[in-house]
Amino acid sequence: MTTTTTGTPAATGAVGAARTRLEGLAKVTGAARYAGEIPFAELAHGWLVLSTIARGRIRAVESAPVLAMPGVLAVLHHGNAPRVDGDYTGPLGAPDPVLQVFQHDRVPYVGWPVALVVAETPEQAREAAEALVVRYDQEPHEAEFSAGHPDRYTPQGSDSPAETAKGDLAAALAASAVVVDARYTTPEEHHHPMEPHAAMARWEGGRLEIVDSNQGSGFVAQELAHLFSLDPASVRVRSEHVGGGFGSKATRPHQVLAAMAATVLQRPVRVVLTRRQMFSLVGYRSPTAQRVRLGADADGRLRAFAHHAESVTSTVREFVERSADMGRVMYDADAHHTLHQVVPLDVPTPSWMRAPGEAPGSFALESALDELAEKCGMDPIALRARNEPESGPVSGLPFSSRQLQACFREGARRFGWAERDPRPGRRRDGRWLLGTGTAASQFAARAAPSTAAVTAEADGDFTVRITAADIGTGARTALTLVAADALGVPPERIRMRIADSDFGPAMIAGGSMGTRSWSWAVMAAAGELREQLALGGVIPPQGITVRSDTTAAIAALAATERHAFGAQFAEVAVDVTSGEVRVRRMLGIFAAGRIVNPLTARSQFIGGMTWGLSMALHEEAVRDRASGATVGADLAGYHVAAHADVPAIEADWVDDPDESDPVGIKGIGEIGVVGGAAAIANAVWHATGVRHRDLPIRPDRVLRAGDGGRPGS
């Protein structure tokens, strides 16, 4: 049975009331089992060997001595691996070539998989992997990104154009009373969920079974079926608890390798990535070089807008970090130009990382707005209010809702913005210079087709099955509240089952689309089930099940600009003698549709803002030009914000109803990251009078700026 109507929500008040996580008890007692923690009889352990050169060919994999080591069962490499088919279009397009493990001898970057050692124990596998000698024919490589690289090009073939243009930019800039022309850079950044990627594969009853840590078991199952030329129904992927993802937990080499080894050895095999291996195998955020040009009248009204963004792609797969997309939504001008260009290098393929595009893009754009406010002698919030567009600046479509100014008003009130002296370098607290800054946040509110099944059980409870993923977002709990309201029963009567590809196709936890997309499917199935039950009758022992598929409903959704918005505020303290920057407080006010669970929503917003802080001050992966590898590829060399870095952060929201939307839920997983780094950078300017246009704002950069040197690089 298929339905795409949501029926009338039968609110019991579950949605909107704070509720602790369903799996909370399991998480605080250590009982929650993640992918690498489920025991299997006869389990073998795979350990990956990665390339140590950035470009060339594998001449030899000297596996004989390693095969003689205790416990070693197999060494898989390009000379003996079974065939993997990469010629398909999967749920996310053509597969990343790194998934076609061991199919040829070419090495396109440091950290490319060259062998998998499988042994009886992890210790044996690790020692053998470290002992394995791989010989290469090395070729010259290039791994260093820089602005204006001669090999940069404008990508084609994306679902969203790389370039948009209207009006005469040069003329509009020339006619502007005030012009900002500024260049910004952001470094390579890595996801690093706390749980490393892990997968167990085995053949069970004629099916390939994977216990994994991922953001969408359905997508992973589809990819594996393609790669191993299997009937989709013969692959089952489960992912009950996931220790963070942030975009990195898609189909990655570890699932493919576990499946390959389990097939070769005919026994269960687990492959767990090491923290170091995660630097090259699971994607990362490309470094960016951005130029923003703004031309305005003396009163701040924009006449010219241009945002050009360059980023890295690999030589094996094109990935575009869409940093210039945000301006297509935020600000209009007579002349409006956005452009993405990429530079192919001998490096791992970048990928989506929490708030892809918007995170680095908002740093440049919202910093530039602050610079324009300074030049116009305007308050930065007033400048943004003056430039509120009536409709989508590029699309011309109306906004379904746009509560950006309400966010700024509420945020300014709570932050105490009115008392701010706009002049920089005026406040001091001992050795610290103090400053405050603000920036806007935005993230698209999209939805993708999903299916769900809701069963009225004979005992009076309800079971919901959906291939959703709870990667720490609280999705399991949120969907329970949504189902409870849709069925008109208390949440205690809902049994929520997620993260099993056998439950049918559904969107992944990504693009801030998970809860919105899954809730839609759950509401559709629950609504129809409720109508059926209203007719009366006895529930048979197997229950009554209604399935939904939102494909048609989503396709029928009116074309509008649907986004969540927000305003972020930061106060920083800068010690110009040590160069240290401390964030003292942050406040984020968001307009993100219906908030399902205030407790976990607040956590997600604050988590995103913590990422913004981490991006502003700490995160920077340094790639060595000579080797092409990441320097200090561990959590000491790649610092993410720790407890001591993170001050009191508050997040709250304003009402953001959208009567035209069937679910009214917008995603909240990413918007917290957007604008945070700009708010902090703007606050550093306010404290010191120096603009920092290169992230992170390291002590040495602050010091050089203080010496009268340029803040750059």
Partner 1 sequence: MAPPTSSAITLNINGEKHTLPVDHRTTLLDALREQLDLTGTKKGCDQGQCGACTVLLDGRRAVSCLQLAVAAEGRVITTIEGVADGERLHPVQQAFLDLDGYQCGYCTPGQICSALAVIEEHAAGWPSAATADVRPEAGVPELSAEEIRERMSGNLCRCGAYVSIVQAVARAAEEAAQPGASSRPWQADGPGEPGAPADGEAVA
The residues in 599-628 that bind partner 1, with binding defined as CB under 8 A, are 599-600, 602-604, 606-611, 614
Least distance between partner 1 and beta carbon 502 (Å): 23
Query: Which one, 29 or 156, has the nearer CB to partner 1?
Result: 29
Vertex 376, ends 370 and 380: CA angle to 5°? 35
Least distance between partner 1 and beta carbon 603 (Å): 5
Least distance between partner 1 and beta carbon 123 (Å): 5
- Binding of partner 1 by 640 (CB under 8 A): yes
CB count, 10 Å around CB of 65?
12
Least distance between partner 1 and beta carbon 527 (Å): 29
Secondary structure of the chain: what % helix, strand, coil (to 5)? 30, 25, 45
Beta bridge pairs of residue 470: none
Contact predicate 668/675, CB 8 Å: no
Binding letters toward partner 1, positions 659-698, x by CB under 8 A: ----------------------------------------
Give the type of residue at 219: F
- Binding of partner 1 by 156 (CB under 8 A): no
The residues in 106-125 that bind partner 1, with binding defined as CB under 8 A, are 121-124
Q: Among the options 127, 310, 571, 670, which is catalytic?
A: 670
Distance CA 450, CA 519 (A): 9
Among 7, 16, 24, 449, binds partner 1 (CB under 8 A): 24
- Binding of partner 1 by 39 (CB under 8 A): yes
Question: Which residues neighbour 205 within 8 Å (Cβ) at sequence distance 6 or greater?
Answer: none
- 3-state DSSP assignment of residue 706: helix
- Binding of partner 1 by 194 (CB under 8 A): yes
Is residue 189 part of the annotated active site? The answer reads no
- From edge to edge, which strands make up the β-sheet containing 432-444? 427-429, 432-444, 563-575, 580-591, 648-653
Phi, psi of 505 (to 5 degrees): -65, 140
Distance CA 531, CA 443 (A): 35
Among 20, 146, 160, 266, binds partner 1 (CB under 8 A): 20
Distance of alpha carbon 508 from the chain centroid: 11
Query: Which one, 626 or 636, has the nearer CB to partner 1?
Result: 636
Least distance between partner 1 and beta carbon 349 (Å): 21
Least distance between partner 1 and beta carbon 22 (Å): 11
- Binding of partner 1 by 652 (CB under 8 A): no
Query: Which one, 72 or 345, has the nearer CB to partner 1?
Result: 72
Distance CA 373, CA 299 (A): 10
Among 12, 16, 23, 579, binds partner 1 (CB under 8 A): 23
- Binding of partner 1 by 284 (CB under 8 A): no
Least distance between partner 1 and beta carbon 533 (Å): 34
Which of 413, 341, 388, 359 is closest to 145 using CA atoms?
341
Q: Please give the DSSP secondary-structure letter assigned to residue 425.
A: T
Question: Which residues neighbour 537 within 8 Å (Cβ) at sequence distance 6 or greater?
Answer: none
Among 280, 401, 473, 560, binds partner 1 (CB under 8 A): 473
Beta strands in 205-328 (DSSP E): 207-212, 235-238, 269-272, 288-296, 302-314
- Binding of partner 1 by 430 (CB under 8 A): no
Among 537, 643, 708, 713, binds partner 1 (CB under 8 A): 643
CB count, 10 Å around CB of 63?
21
Binding site for partner 1 (CB under 8 A): 20-21, 23-34, 36-37, 39, 121-124, 127, 191-196, 241-244, 246, 272, 274-275, 471-474, 599-600, 602-604, 606-611, 614, 634-636, 640-644, 646, 648-649
Tell me the catalytic residues: 670
